[in-house]
Amino acid sequence: MPPEIIVVDDPEDDRFAQFRLNERGLASRADKRDDAGAGLFLAEGDLVVDRALDAGCLPVAALVDSQRVPDVASRFEAAGAPVYAGGAVVRRVVSGLGMPQPIIALFHRPARPSVAELAKRCRRLVVLEAVDNPANVGAIIRNAAGLGWDGLILDHTSADPMARRSLRVAMGTVFALPHARTTTLIDDIRELDNVSLFAMTPNNDAAALETIDPGARAAVLIGSERAGLSNELLALATPVRIPMGAGVDSLNAAAATAIACWELRIRR
């Protein structure tokens, strides 16, 4: 085994404590609201870890499978971050996963742009209000990035894109879709210049998505699956809907976002 790999057989070893941190331990509420970058995030799997490193995220430490060290582990030595190795039992106890990934890694959370900064450089934005399920946020990120959208705006009640589950579901595409997080979403959206706003709603009075000409710059607004978008946000945008079959009023947030991102994509 390469000398940079530190084999640890005891799952209770103090060096593993950092890998056991829950979401609040990795990043406090204040950390998540800090645009300069504060706290940590945890990436699982060689693809997500590779993409985090490619994006310039600063690694803290990694835990790998001692029997099958992923190639990406070699990138931690150059960054001066330790790589610990353990067997399946050790990694299962440390990670809390029944089927632990060959690598999990801790990183410093990167800085992010403000809403205004992000909007200046984006032609297609997804805006989330009160989407509090991290799996939904991760799937929305993957959909938006895969369909060529270039920015994400979230209010402070939506799930954290850098949360462990969000990152896992997004397969690391969060690093390809820059995001801004805000406590003043309605005011920030109101200030967007030359961006056509489209609010997703199941209301039958709304225009069908396929009839919309999105224009050069557009944002699609997605709300909570329980309550939908707030009246204040709806008032700022053109309501649009996905025509549904009889007896079904809507799709979940991630599926609806995928369809909206396709229908409102930049048409070359």
Question: Domain limits of the chain?
Answer: 5-108, 115-263
89 CA to centre of own chain? 29
CB of 243 closer than 8 Å to CB of 181: no
What pTM, to 2 d.p., does this model score?
0.93
pLDDT band at 209 (very low <50, low <70, confident <90, very high): very high
Q: What is the mean pLDDT of residues 11-16?
A: 88
pLDDT at 249 over 90: no
C-alpha–C-alpha distance, residues 200 and 208, integer Å: 10
Q: Helix H segments across the chain?
A: 23-26, 29-32, 46-54, 74-78, 88-95, 115-120, 134-146, 164-170, 185-190, 231-234, 253-263
Which two tokens mark 161? 């894109």
* C-alpha separations of 41 from 106, 115, 137, 147 in Å: 6, 22, 16, 25
Per-residue model confidence as pLDDT tens digits over 137-173: 999 999 999 999 999 999 999 999 999 999 999 999 9
pLDDT at 2: 47
pLDDT at 198: 98
Could you please state the CATH topology (level 3) that the domain comprising 5-108 is classified under: 60s Ribosomal Protein L30; Chain: A; (3.30.1330)
C-alpha–C-alpha distance, residues 150 and 122, integer Å: 6
pLDDT at 83 over 70: yes
pLDDT band at 247 (very low <50, low <70, confident <90, very high): confident
* C-alpha separations of 234 from 186, 201, 245 in Å: 10, 9, 24
Average pLDDT of the chain to the nearest whole number: 93
pLDDT at 87: 85
Per-residue model confidence as pLDDT tens digits over 50-61: 999 999 999 999
Task: Number of helices (H) and strands (E) in the chain: give both, helices first.
Answer: 11, 12
pLDDT at 4: 76
Q: What is the mean pLDDT of residues 193-207?
A: 95
Q: What is the mean pLDDT of residues 34-60?
A: 95
Better-scored residue on pLDDT, 69 or 154: 154
Could you please state the CATH topology (level 3) that the domain comprising 115-263 is classified under: Alpha/beta knot (3.40.1280)
pLDDT at 94: 79
Per-residue model confidence as pLDDT tens digits over 94-148: 777 767 889 999 999 999 999 999 999 999 999 999 999 999 999 999 999 999 9
pLDDT at 255 over 70: yes
For the ranges 62-71, 148-157, 244-253, the one whose mean pLDDT is highest: 148-157
